[in-house]
Structure 1
Amino acid sequence: MMRIASLTWVAICAIATPGLAQSMPGMDMKGMEIRPQKPKPAARKAQSKAAPRHKAPVPAGDMRGMDMSPPARAPASAPDHAGMPGMDHGGMAGMDMSGPAAMSGPAGTDLPAGHDPAPPLPADHYADRFFPAEDMGRSREAMMREDGGQTIHQILFNLAEIQILNSHAGYRWDSEGFIGGDINRLWIKSEGEGTFRDGVDSAEVQALFSHAIGPYYNLQAGVRQDIRPTPSQTYATVGFEGLSPYEFETEGALFLSTKGDLLARLEAWYDQRITQRLVVQPRVELNLSAQDVPQDRYGAGIVDAELGLRLRYEIKREFAPYIGVSWERKTGRSAECARADGERPDQTGFVIGVRTWF
């Protein structure tokens, strides 16, 4: 009887021994395969010396010979900053992150405003280390001349047209040309009009020296010579020409004759593009006189005014035929002189011409 009890006890212990591991609280080892943890590449060499490699996986439920301790860590490669002064490892409270440590004062836009002259331009050129200085000097001089220092020229016929005004046909021209640089130029201007029946009624030529007073305006001074009507007159001239805001071309001048007569002229026009080739140009011109000039049939005040509208088609930028309308009106004593001469003080007509430059 005692022998049977002993065998029964041994059988019960043998059956209960594997279940001890499964009955551990919080652990379910059923079907679990324990694999060794692979070390990181950087610490593999160090770990191989510190801990042996794991053997083959242990079958589930067999805890014999298993090392449950955490894997050995590789030695830290970062330097020890514990000895650095001013470094607080508890939140880095002692470190000043407000700016570069090398800055001891204001710089850049933080500097106070002043009027010190600009620093001098560098006198040395890197290319001079590899090429003769004389050759590089000539090259730089040619570059400056070609990029703004060269002499340029142009001749422009802004108006070259036939006018059909009231009952007669006539013609008119307004041209100018210049030669010079970006700052100083010599201008030659000419304008006039006439009829096919009576010839040239008025014609003038101006020779002016022009000096740029800004990026958009030139100040001009010179002489004006009237060829028609006779007798001819000579005027001292001072004026301006340039591009006003909103791209209005403007031109004005004062004329003082050798007899003391003071005249003035104002012109403005605007090129409005409808397409890349089709352009409409409104134009206004005023002529004024400070006193009566009987020989020229002028009266004091506004002598005459002209409003025009021309539509041109640019076959090329340099060649653009146009059509349009023009209205002219004389006022004051000038209108009275026109009536006394049997002329109408106002005229409206059709114009056809070409605008060209080269």
Structure 2
Amino acid sequence: MNTPIKKRILALAIATLGATPLFAYAQAHDAHSGHTAMSASSASAVDAASMPGMDHSKMNMPGMDHGAMNMGVQDSGAMNTNSTSAPKPPEAMPGMNHGQDNTAPTAPAHDMGAMGQGSGEMDHGTMQMQGGTAPPDARDPNAYSDGYTLDSGKYSLGPAQRLRMSDEHNFGSVWFDRLEYVRAGSNEGLAYEGQAWYGGTYNRAVLKAEGEVANGKLQESQTELLWGHAISTFWDTQLGIRFDHGQGVPNRKWLAFGVQGLAPYWFDIDATAYVGPSGRTALSLSAEYDLLITQRLVLQPRVEVNFYGKRDEAREIGSGLSDGTAGLRLKYQVTRQFVPYVGVEWTGKFGQTATFARDAGERARETRFVAGLSFRF
């Protein structure tokens, strides 16, 4: 076979292969158009009325008025992309009125006021979120008061009996931190220290008392009547008077100002300054800490020191650091309100106060063994 014939055969094969996809697409398009008899070579548009199952005028879809939908200049009936003839007028397509307004009609507003609760529907017209009078079927606010109401009813409480928060009530407490038997060498006696208070959360009256009893007599005592005011969660300021009593010595009166509370790391602190007649001044500091060995067994170290601004020979007190006490008490908490204990403490007198004690035949240092009880109510 010569070369010209081969070239013709090759060109025919290429043309045949290129036309095959177009032919297949035309068949698929004709099959899809089916009953509409839309031919790929047809030059005229098909009327929508001749398309069974596509009668838009009989499609009753609420809120979807196809007659008012403007599809633009494209005729939905002219579905043949190969058509070269002019589109069919919109009037020829029933149910597809393109000649009306371009904007879609607004759906009718839902009348929520016509939806009654009796029929399971909601009447928004009568609903009020707040304000106004309560509905007739509302719950009675005094239904569970058993007749006790503020202003009316079987047992009217009146405005004087209104409910009050906890910080508006007054409470009271008595606390004896030390009520103990003391033995030092051949000497023995009793000692006490405690306080009582009554009042509210922020303001209260406070009574502090401590002293020693020997041979059935009150040897010495210190009593304070204070007004306590809370300045923070753990601290109170205290302002008032102090009265000192002693066996065979003159009494003393002081103006007291101090703070009492719980320091960081759970140290109980009590610091008070005093001012008395004739220019006398004093300062008392005490601190204690509860070291929990178990949930009930507690070891409590305690330290107390006293300073005086001037010498008081009548009471055998010197200026500066006068005396101090350090002790350990092992406590067992039967309850929080009832705590027996045993312990030991060391007392000492310093400076001129120690000199007064030695001149009177007393020891400036001594060790004491104690056994007692802490309680509160």
What's the CA shift for 1:289?
A: 0.5
Runs of 4+ in 1 over 4 A off after TM superposition: 127-130, 132-141
Residues in 2 aligned to 1:314 and 1:138: alpha-carbon distance in whole angstroms: 44
Which runs of 5 or more residues in structure 2 are unaligned? 1-130, 143-148, 152-156
Task: State how 1:84-233 maps to structure 2 within 5 Å.
Answer: 131=141, 134=150, 142=163, 144-145=164-165, 147-196=166-215, 199-229=217-247, 230-233=249-252
What's the CA shift for 1:234?
A: 1.1
8 Å Cα contact 1:322-1:352 kept in structure 2: yes
Residues in 1 aligned to 2:240 and 2:206: alpha-carbon distance in whole angstroms: 9
What's the CA shift for 1:131?
A: 2.8
Q: Which amino acid aligns with 1:239?
A: G
Residues in 2 aligned to 1:314 and 1:267: alpha-carbon distance in whole angstroms: 23
8 Å Cα contact 1:240-1:252 kept in structure 2: yes
2:308 is the alignment partner of 1:298: no
Bigger Rg over Cα: 2
Q: Which amino acid aligns with 1:152?
A: F
Partner of 2:120: none
Which runs of 5 or more residues in structure 1 are unaligned? 1-123
Residues in 2 aligned to 1:246 and 1:164: alpha-carbon distance in whole angstroms: 32
Q: Percent identity?
A: 33
Residues in 2 aligned to 1:129 and 1:178: alpha-carbon distance in whole angstroms: 44
8 Å Cα contact 1:263-1:288 kept in structure 2: yes
Q: Which amino acid aligns with 1:208?
A: L
What's the CA shift for 1:323?
A: 0.1
Partner of 2:20: none
RMSD: 2.6
Q: Which amino acid aligns with 1:342?
A: G
2:267 is the alignment partner of 1:257: no
What's the CA shift for 1:139?
A: 12
What's the CA shift for 1:194?
A: 3.1
What's the CA shift for 1:151?
A: 0.8
2:337 is the alignment partner of 1:318: yes
Residues in 2 aligned to 1:272 and 1:257: alpha-carbon distance in whole angstroms: 37
8 Å Cα contact 1:280-1:312 kept in structure 2: yes
Q: Which amino acid aligns with 2:352?
A: R
1:31-81 Cα distance to aligned partner (Å, 9 max, x none): xxxxxxxxxxxxxxxxxxxxxxxxxxxxxxxxxxxxxxxxxxxxxxxxxxx
Residues in 2 aligned to 1:129 and 1:233: alpha-carbon distance in whole angstroms: 67
2:289 is the alignment partner of 1:270: yes
8 Å Cα contact 2:243-2:252 kept in structure 1: yes
Residues in 2 aligned to 1:330 and 1:267: alpha-carbon distance in whole angstroms: 16
Partner of 2:369: 350
2:328 is the alignment partner of 1:309: yes
Query: Which range is displaced more, 325-334 or 222-231?
Result: 222-231
What's the CA shift for 1:258?
A: 2.4
1:80-126 Cα distance to aligned partner (Å, 9 max, x none): xxxxxxxxxxxxxxxxxxxxxxxxxxxxxxxxxxxxxxxxxxxx9xx
8 Å Cα contact 1:171-1:196 kept in structure 2: no
Aligned partner of residue 279 in structure 2, secondary structure: coil
Residues in 1 aligned to 2:221 and 2:170: alpha-carbon distance in whole angstroms: 29
Q: Which amino acid aligns with 2:335?
A: K
Q: Which amino acid aligns with 1:217?
A: W
1:226-281 Cα distance to aligned partner (Å, 9 max, x none): 12243211111111110000111000111112232111100110111111211111
Partner of 2:108: none
Q: 1:279 to 1:137 in 2, by over 3 A?
A: farther
